[in-house]
Structure 1
Amino acid sequence: MESMISADPWAGAVQDIVAAGRRMDRFGWVPATAGNISRRLADGRIAVTRSGGHKGHLTPDGVIEVTPDGRAVRPGERPSAETLLHCQLYAFAPEIGAVLHGHSVASTVLSMAAADVIELTGYEVLKVFEGQDTHDTTVRVPVFDNDQDIARLSRVVAPHLGRMPAGYVIRGHGVYVWGGTMDGALARLEGLEFLLACELERRKIAR
């Protein structure tokens, strides 16, 4: 997906989110009303998908504006339930410009079988992640237990921030990835999902 360009920063953010939702939907990563997508605005506020709704069929009305601590700017609007996890990433690293959360089959199944980490070793596509310049390496993807208390989950994730080059997985739930731009976040998401799918296939063969 080429970066969307708009003279209106809000319109540009909305266009990026809508396009990302459609792209994620093509791969089957946002089934039903699952997943959420956000982009940081220049003033520090965040454009994020509204709670509910299919991310593959987003319209501009499906994107709302929240403050850096996740509160809807317009009273009565309801952001995605996991907005706080997006806010956590933006607060941690000013260079993060977009955050994506999807629910793929591979991430869901592998996370249910993993202890606290999924190790990805020897794959060429590992080079899509920041700091990786060879296939001859291992990238560890943390797996955190699912929790409907998002504030509590964010506290579990917090000690690992800055040490997750490929993002992380919530058990039985899905992946979180981020990047400096929407294109960068999408590249990271596609790389991680490809590798998780490869790992799932390898485990099938090994049986």
Structure 2
Amino acid sequence: MTDNLQLHELVSACHWLGAKGWAPATGGNMSVRQDADWCWLSESGKDKGNLTSADFLQVSIADNHAPSGRKPSAETGLHTLIYRLYPQAHAVLHVHTVNATVLSRVEKSATLQLNGYEMQKCLRGQTSHLDTVPMAIFDNDQDIDALAKRIEDYAQTHPLPYGFLLRGHGLTCWGRNVAEARRHLEGLEFLFECELQRRLLERL
């Protein structure tokens, strides 16, 4: 059985981010770990602002199989990859925010470097605005298996402690529970907006 409290918290987080417009037009996907072998992932094509617990499908972390026969989200393979890579990850949020989407295209390198912001301290393990928080950016790909393989290869030598950006696509982030994943999402979204505004103002 899944942790009903965590699934309830995930549904609440979906309503919250849906109200913010961070998963428009049924975009985005969310999941919570059940145990070492299974997770619960949002069904494809659902409005994230109106999800109920019945809209989450049990999915095998090992091979993305959904026993119900219903269709899980298109990026299922990215969620299960995170759960395989990081046993401490218990919730994953993938959103299509304007700030994350635009900034991932404005930044031409493979890593967005965030530093100098007090709000960096909302991220687990960050204690100072003087630190640099690297956010990996991967080129988008409709072949999710190929994309997951690129991310997995990168993660062998570069930790991904909070999440990553998909160029022109959005942000995927996670946490040790739903509350932490939600905090990371809100904090990173604030940092992305600050960084975009800083770059715009510097061009004036």
The answer to whether the superposition gives a TM-score over 0.5 is: yes
What is the alpha-carbon distance in structure 2 between the residues aligned to residue 164 and residue 94 of structure 1? 13
Following TM superposition, by how much is the alpha carbon of 1:79 offset from its aligned partner in structure 2, in angstroms?
0.3
| Identity in percent | 40
Cα distance per residue 1:106-125 (max 9 Å; x no partner): 01111111121211110011
Question: What 5-or-longer segments of structure 1 have no aligned partner?
Answer: 1-7
User: What is the RMSD computed on CA atoms of the aligned residues?
Assistant: 1.5
CA apart distance, 1:62:
1.5
2:175 to 171, 179, 202: 179
- Given that 2:6 and 2:178 are in contact with CA atoms closer than 8 Å, whether structure 1 keeps it comes out as no
**1:14 maps to 2:14:** no
Letter paired with 2:198 = R
Q: Does 1:190 align with 2:186?
A: yes
Does residue 159 of structure 2 align to residue 159 of structure 1?
Answer: no
**Aligned-residue offset at 1:10:** 5.2
The normalised TM-score by structure 2 is 0.92
Judge conservation of contact 1:129–1:165 (CA < 8 Å) in 2. Answer: no
Amino acid at match of 1:128: C
Aligned AA (1:197) = E
2:18/2:48 contact within 8 Å kept: yes
- Out of 108, 119, 144, the position equivalent to 1:125 is 119
Contact kept in structure 2, 1:139 and 1:166, CA below 8 Å: no
Q: Structure 2: where are the runs of 5+ without partners?
A: none
* 1:127-165 Cα distance to aligned partner (Å, 9 max, x none): 122332111121111110000000100111113336123
Write the deviation string for residues 61-99 of structure 1: whole angstroms up to 9, x where unpaired: 311111112111112x00001011000011112111111
Per the alignment, in what secondary structure is the counterpart of residue 137 of structure 2?
Answer: strand
SS of structure 2 residue aligned to 1:119? strand
Question: Normalised by the size of structure 1, how large is the TM-score?
Answer: 0.90
SS at match of 1:165: coil
Match of 1:203 among 170, 195, 199: 199
Counterpart of 2:185 in structure 1: which amino acid? L
Q: Does the CA contact (< 8 Å) of 1:146 and 1:173 recur in 2?
A: yes
Task: Establish whether residue 79 from structure 1 lines up as the match of residue 75 from structure 2.
Answer: no
Give 2:167's aligned amino acid: R
Report deviation, 1:15. Answer: 1.6
Q: Could you tell me which residue of structure 1 aligns to residue 53 of structure 2?
A: 60
Q: Which secondary structure state, in structure 1, belongs to the residue aligned with residue 145 of structure 2?
A: helix
Structure 1 residues 204 and 170: alpha-carbon distance in aligned structure 2, compared to 1, 3 A threshold: same
Equivalent position of 2:30 in the other structure:
37
SS in 2 for 1:70: coil
